[in-house]
């Protein structure tokens, strides 16, 4: 089994760079997992390339595909036996995020209860949302780093309902949400009235530059952009432009499921261009709840086996960035351009 050759063939078919190590990891996962979505989760490279690799391995008689799932052939099993046995070692107590989930437990429990009645995700707005523990942990990390207490906070896109945790905590000086989905905005407003906290909410199209009143006005932003470079520029770049001064912080999620390491590299170059520094990248921090519209996605179309996921399978890393002197956000106007999809996307 020449993994480098397979990597080259996958690149030819998909135009997405994969490495020998990516394929080694994939083959090793197949020793334990048969559900396509769980395989994706552990593979940590873009979905179209994972599925193309699986087809390729099937042609080479390493993998067999049936209605039951994806499995190694006896030839594949032999080859895989010398490889790294993929295992999830993430800490059970903090779910691998590094922050103690037991802190501020009353806020967490209240939030878990409140969010049960939230609007369901809409495919129109690319709204896979994360587990309440993920949202709550964003608050914990932000708090620990000193980016929450007494701060003016901007949440760009809030289908994860972070503003509700922030409101319940009573810690920020102010919370502002820019979110296009009216259902979510109403939900946040209603909870705010019920729980007696205030959130400023505005519906904005992030493809356009931020109105002047948002510029240089916040200490901290949170966002979770779709995984294209243009969307990253629109969401993260706007967030940076909204920050008040050097030493302000921004948080965002970025996955490998729809972004190759090449795209991560380009993102990091873009961040360098904004003159911000990355202080944290926490692997698999955000865990997304299965959003229910899987069958309408490109990922479903690409999957060699049409089965639904059983567990949550879509995860992303959490980035924290800090501004340095001379930082500069994005004021690029994308008009009505589709900035949400590229060749590595498959769930938007």
Residue 59 is a binding residue for a copy of itself (CB under 8 A): no
CA nearest to 70, candidates 295, 307, 311, 345: 307
Work out the burial of residue 184: count CB atoms within 10 Å of its CB; fewer than 13 is exposed, 13-18 middle, 19 or more buried. Answer: buried
Neighbours of 159 (CB within 10 A): 23
CB of 324 to a copy of itself, least distance (A): 6
Residue 101 is a binding residue for a copy of itself (CB under 8 A): yes
Residue 12 is a binding residue for a copy of itself (CB under 8 A): no
Query: Residue 38 or 294: which CB sits closer to a copy of itself?
Result: 38
The span from the CA of 84 to the CA of 92, in Å, is: 22
The span from the CA of 108 to the CA of 170, in Å, is: 13
82, 117, 196, 336: which one binds a copy of itself (CB under 8 A): 82
The span from the CA of 143 to the CA of 165, in Å, is: 12
Q: Which stretch binds a copy of itself (CB under 8 A): 146-154, 162-170, 185-193, 300-308?
A: 146-154
Query: Residue 5 or 262: which CB sits closer to a copy of itself?
Result: 262
Paired sense of beta strands 69-72 and 63-66, if any: antiparallel
The span from the CA of 201 to the CA of 166, in Å, is: 14
Query: Residue 10 or 184: which CB sits closer to a copy of itself?
Result: 10
CB of 266 to a copy of itself, least distance (A): 9
Please provide the DSSP assignment of 264-293 as one string.
Answer: HHHHHHHHHHHTEEEEEEEEEEEEEPP-S-
Q: Which stretch binds a copy of itself (CB under 8 A): 80-88, 158-166, 306-314, 334-342?
A: 80-88
The span from the CA of 118 to the CA of 296, in Å, is: 22
How many chain residues touch a copy of itself (CB under 8 A)? 63
Q: Which stretch binds a copy of itself (CB under 8 A): 20-28, 72-80, 109-117, 306-314?
A: 20-28
58, 94, 180, 307: which one binds a copy of itself (CB under 8 A): 94
CB of 4 to a copy of itself, least distance (A): 8
- Using CB under 8 A as the criterion, what x/- string covers residues 259-298 for binding a copy of itself? --xx-xx--xx--x--x-xxxxxxx---------------
Interacting residues with a copy of itself between 302 and 331 (CB under 8 A): 317, 322, 324-325
Neighbours of 77 (CB within 10 A): 14
Say what the alpha-carbon torsion angle 3, 4, 7, 8 is, to the nearest 10 degrees. Answer: -140
Residues that bind a copy of itself (CB under 8 A): 4, 17, 19-22, 24-25, 28, 82-94, 96-101, 103, 140-141, 143-144, 146, 148-151, 219, 245-249, 261-262, 264-265, 268-269, 272, 275, 277-283, 317, 322, 324-325
């Amino acid at each position: 089994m020449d993994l480098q050759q397979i990597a080259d063939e996958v690149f030819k078919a998909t135009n997405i760079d994969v490495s020998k190590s990516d394929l080694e990891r994939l083959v090793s996962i197949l020793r334990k997992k048969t559900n396509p979505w769980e395989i994706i989760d552990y593979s940590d490279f873009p979905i179209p390339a994972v599925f193309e690799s699986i087809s390729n391995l099937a042609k080479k008689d390493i993998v067999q595909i049936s209605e039951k799932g994806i499995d190694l052939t006896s030839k594949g099993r032999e080859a895989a036996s010398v490889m790294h046995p993929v295992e999830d070692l993430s800490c059970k107590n903090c779910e691998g995020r590094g922050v103690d989930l037991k802190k501020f437990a009353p806020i967490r429990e209240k939030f878990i209860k409140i969010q049960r009645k939230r609007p369901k995700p809409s495919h129109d707005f690319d709204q896979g949302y994360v587990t309440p523990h993920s949202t709550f942990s964003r608050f914990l990390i932000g708090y620990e780093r000193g980016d929450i207490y007494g701060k003016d906070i901007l949440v760009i896109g809030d289908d994860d309902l972070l503003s509700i945790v922030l409101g319940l905590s009573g810690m920020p000086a102010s919370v502002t949400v820019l979110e296009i989905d009216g259902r979510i905005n109403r939900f946040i407003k209603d909870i705010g009235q019920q729980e007696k906290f205030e959130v400023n909410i505005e519906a904005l199209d992030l493809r356009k530059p931020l109105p002047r009143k948002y510029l240089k006005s916040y200490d901290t932003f949170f966002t979770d952009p779709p995984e294209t470079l243009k969307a990253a520029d629109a969401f993260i770049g706007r967030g940076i432009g909204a920050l008040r001064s050097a030493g302000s912080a921004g948080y965002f999620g970025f996955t490998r499921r729809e972004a190759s390491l090449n795209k991560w590299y380009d993102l990091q170059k873009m961040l360098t261009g904004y003159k911000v520094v990355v202080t944290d990248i926490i692997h698999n921090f955000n865990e997304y709840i299965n959003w229910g519209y899987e069958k309408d996605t490109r990922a479903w179309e690409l999957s060699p086996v049409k089965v639904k996921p059983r567990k949550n399978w879509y995860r992303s890393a959490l980035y924290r960035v800090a501004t340095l002197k001379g930082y500069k956000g994005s004021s690029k106007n994308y008009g009505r351009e589709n900035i949400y999809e590229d060749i590595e996307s498959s769930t938007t």
